[in-house]
Chains A and B, each alone.
Chain A
Amino acid sequence: MDSVNNSDYILEMRNITKEFPGVKALDNVNFKVKRGEIHCLVGENGAGKSTLMKILSGVYPYGSYNGEIILNGQVQKFQSIQDSEKAGIAIIYQELALVPEMTVYENIYLGHEIKNGINIDWNETILQSKKMLEKVRLNINPEMKVKYLGVGKMQLIEIAKAFSKDVKLLILDEPTAALNDDDAENLLNLLIELKKEGITSIMVSHKLKEVIQVADTVTVLRDGKTICSLDAHKEEVSEPVLIKNMVGREIADVFPKRKVKNIGDTIFEVRNLNAIDQTTSKHILKDVNIYARKGEVVGIAGLMGAGRTELAYSIFGNPKGYKVSGEIYVEGKLMNFKTPYDAIKAGVAYVTEDRKGEGLILIQDVKENTTLANLRAIARSGVIDENKEITVADEYRKTLNIKTPSIEQKVQNLSGGNQQKVSLAKWLFTMPKVLILDEPTRGIDVGAKFEIYNIINDLVSQGMCIIMISSELPEILGMSDRIYIMSQGKITGELPIEEANQDKIMEYATI
């Protein structure tokens, strides 16, 4: 029988397939974790790591996927996170789930309070919390409010919370992404010590150095499939090996060639840009220096959380209220962008990554969205010229081939690709010199992608300067003239397209 043969496996996920409308996120994935090991799960953005972990933790309930989960030899049918917790699985996400205004002990036992009859037994809670904190080597007063602790300690409290639920399998999703080097090192050491005490953990990580440091087994996912599972004690697990497995695919010929390549003078430059997120005091950009030329597509690659979108915000008038320092030059002139409006006026446009949340006004129509960022151009003394507005919107509908029954259609009724084109139309109508595109083809179908690539080529051929942030390496390689790679808020590499390939980019991105 299986369960007898595989008794050294604490977890087996067999033939897991998960589909979202239009996308196969996981395709027959097999994932086995041995009892008492540290198992790392790596892969590019969108490879399916998070989806797999969400299935394991019951976020996607049984029945919404195909395949089976076997934990300790028993088939599991999790309907919710509560079910997986009951079975001894605890998942710790990048975004910490602690209540800042509550004390450490309240947080640790939140949701499974220790009761004495119908009352909470606070004394017992505090006593037990101390034990849990000892387990994670955290020497703090459990009566402190969580908000006074740093991110590193909060991470440990999350783990303590997992222990309080009698965890058998600990899952950490990018645990060190938000930590400084010392805290990260501390956490990794803790994992190794916990392993000695018999705790099995799964770590999802982008940082290959850390993976190599702690992993007993590494599983690589790519495009929703299991590529390999390497035993660190028997096989070679090195950065080149992992990178090769993570990216190893050919770039399909989906990127239209640009007919005219005419790269001109530097039109945009950023010098020594630093940014600090004031709510978390995290240094999100460190000494960023980049430049871009007329008629050039500059790609910015990097893994999730590398600081690419934060870079765009910091350039574009800082709408998130970071503490930003550094210099921005447009056409050689030093700029001082206090608001997005200043940036727009100077000829910088930013097509956001989050189309629905930050790009479009979904309840308004195509016409109104198209003109929103430059209404003054179609108004006289503050009164909108409706004929002009219709003409403008209709022109963009035609040139960008926006498929809509009418420009009076609400954008919430359009497909993702067409919504993205409306976003583009809005920013093109501000007549930018520098266009920043953040994940320009995320969540849109292949046909629309191709159209967007053609639009990008047309724009740079006409002399626009485009900075393209993308998590899709083939897209970065297929469209850019020059590539910057970011990691942890820093520019870690710059490659002309001739020298760039997936392995090199991945190497810089995982520094």
Chain B
Amino acid sequence: MFFSDLKKMLKENIRDYGMFIALFAIIIGFSILTDGVFISPRNISNLINSVGYIAVLAVGMTLIIVIRHIDLSVGYLAGFAGAIVAILLTRYNMSIFVAIPIVLVLGIVVGLFNGFLVGKVGVPAFVVSLAGMMIFRGALLQVTNQTGTIIIKNQTFNNIGNGFIPDFPFINIEGIHVVTLVIGILGICLYIISEFRNRNKKLNYNFEVPSMPIFTLKLVLVSAMIGYITWILARYNGLSWTVVIVLIVTALYNYLTNKTVLGRHIYAVGGNPEAAALSGINVKNITYFVFASMSMLSALSGILYTSRLQSATTTAGMGFELDAIAAAYVGGVSAAGGVGKVTGSIIGALVMASLSNGMNLMGVGISYQYIIRGAILILAVVFDVVTRNRNS
């Protein structure tokens, strides 16, 4: 009974769970192959922090691909935005609370312009963003022209990419970051409560729900995963500010896409633009919004990256767009539009980053790394296409 339920659930939701299973397999695989170095607190903390600036891009890219477009400009826009924030901080001695909003608004303005060209004028997004890619690459070189790499000395800013959240001042347990542990436990509780509420609501309406043992299994597995990661991080330096920012962005976008009218309209436009337009949805406005959000997240990505390096470099942002697009596809976003979750793309980003990290630890050459990551990308999309065809 239990196993047949499990089999049925896995079969029906293979696309939703596939990435989790893949991530799990990758983690276990690399942990064995590297004699546990991969799973060490230091490495996991480093891995998660290094994926931050791609993760926020992947969130924005999810929506872009959902409405059947693409944005290639995000990488160099991130690099350019990072350089601007560095200039504002060093040359004009601005506070980060002024400099960061300015750069985010800059991102929004760029995105609205992209959205205008795509949605109103009708230029294909590929061309618009390819042009943007060249323009921002040039702009980045121009602003860093005289100085070369801009070193940032502002410690508050550098903390965003390198610092960790503070611990309780009074409770000190040797080797354990208590605040992180508390947040992790709260997270698990919230997760369990919301899952139960969801289940009860569905039962109320006589919807199909997984059987109790399956449901429990899912709760236990996810809780264990959150718990374990929390435990690992707590034994190192705790939660980093990067992770906090990524979690906030993910939570916001997850809420936006799942709970709001705007989110529903975005998926409707992606699912069938003609039907959406005839249902009274303004497809242009949706396009503007999605491109503006993408470019704002690019600016945020640039801030995270610049802060992590504590400097703005002349080549910052190179290839970010491809990592973000790959993360979205690996995370189950459909190229046909209308399908894809932001949480999936975050998992996708983690999968790709884990692959690089694990292969680095094993000493695999960079040439092989690219080949293997490319193969994984194709595998993930083939899997997606095949399961989709089988379902319909």
Contacts and interface: CB of A to CB of B under 8 A. Distances in A.
A459 B277 CA distance: 25
Interface string A244-261: 000000000000000000
A279 interface: no
Contacts of A316: 278
Contacts of A376: 261
Contacts of B338: 361, 363-364
Contact of B268 (A350, A364, A386, A394): A364
A379 to B, nearest CB: 5
Interface in A339-376: 339-341, 343-345, 350, 352, 357-364, 368, 372-373, 375-376
Contacts of A341: 280-282
A350 B392 contact: no
A389 to B, nearest CB: 10
A361 B260 CA distance: 18
B262 interface: yes
B283 to A, nearest CB: 10
Interface in A175-214: none
A446 interface: no
Contacts of A412: 392
Interface stretch (B19-27, B201-209, B239-247, B313-321): B201-209
Nearest to B274: A358
A390 B267 contact: no
Contacts of B279: 340, 344, 372-373, 426
A387 interface: yes
Given A361-B338, A379-B260, A412-B392, A339 B282 contact: yes
Nearest to A361: B271
Contact of A382 (B261, B280, B281, B392): B261
Contacts of B339: 363
B277 A340 contact: yes
B288 to A, nearest CB: 15
A362 B261 contact: no
B207 A360 contact: no
A360 B315 CA distance: 46
B271 A384 contact: no
B264 A375 contact: yes
B275 interface: yes
A115 B110 CA distance: 52
Contacts of A394: 205
B276 interface: yes
Interface in B172-221: 201, 205, 207-208
B275 A359 contact: yes
Contacts of B259: 383-384, 386
Interface in B27-52: none
B260 A364 contact: no
Contacts of B208: 405-406, 408
A360 B261 contact: no
B265 interface: yes
B13 interface: no
B272 interface: yes
A346 to B, nearest CB: 11
B274 A357 contact: yes
Contacts of A264: none
A319 interface: yes
Contacts of B264: 368, 372, 375, 384
Contact of A390 (B205, B260, B271, B276): B205
B272 A382 contact: no
A408 B392 CA distance: 16
Nearest to B208: A406
A405 B207 CA distance: 9
A369 to B, nearest CB: 9
A319 B392 contact: no
A49 B213 CA distance: 59
B278 A360 contact: no
B280 A344 contact: yes
27 contacts: A319-B277, A339-B282, A340-B279, A340-B280, A341-B280, A341-B282, A357-B274, A357-B275, A358-B275, A359-B275, A360-B272, A361-B267, A361-B272, A364-B268, A372-B279, A372-B281, A373-B279, A373-B280, A375-B265, A376-B261, A379-B261, A383-B261, A384-B261, A386-B201, A386-B259, A390-B205, A408-B208
Interface of B: 201, 205, 207-208, 259-262, 264-265, 267-268, 271-272, 274-282, 338-339, 392
Interface of A: 316-317, 319, 339-341, 343-345, 350, 352, 357-364, 368, 372-373, 375-376, 379, 382-384, 386-387, 390, 394, 405-406, 408, 412, 426, 430
6 nearest A-B residue pairs (beta carbon) = A341-B280, A361-B271, A373-B279, A344-B280, A358-B274, A375-B261
Given A383-B260, A384-B260, A408-B208, 20 more contacts: A317-B280, A319-B278, A340-B279, A344-B280, A345-B280, A350-B278, A358-B272, A360-B275, A361-B267, A361-B275, A363-B271, A368-B264, A372-B268, A372-B275, A375-B261, A376-B261, A406-B207, A408-B207, A426-B279, A430-B280
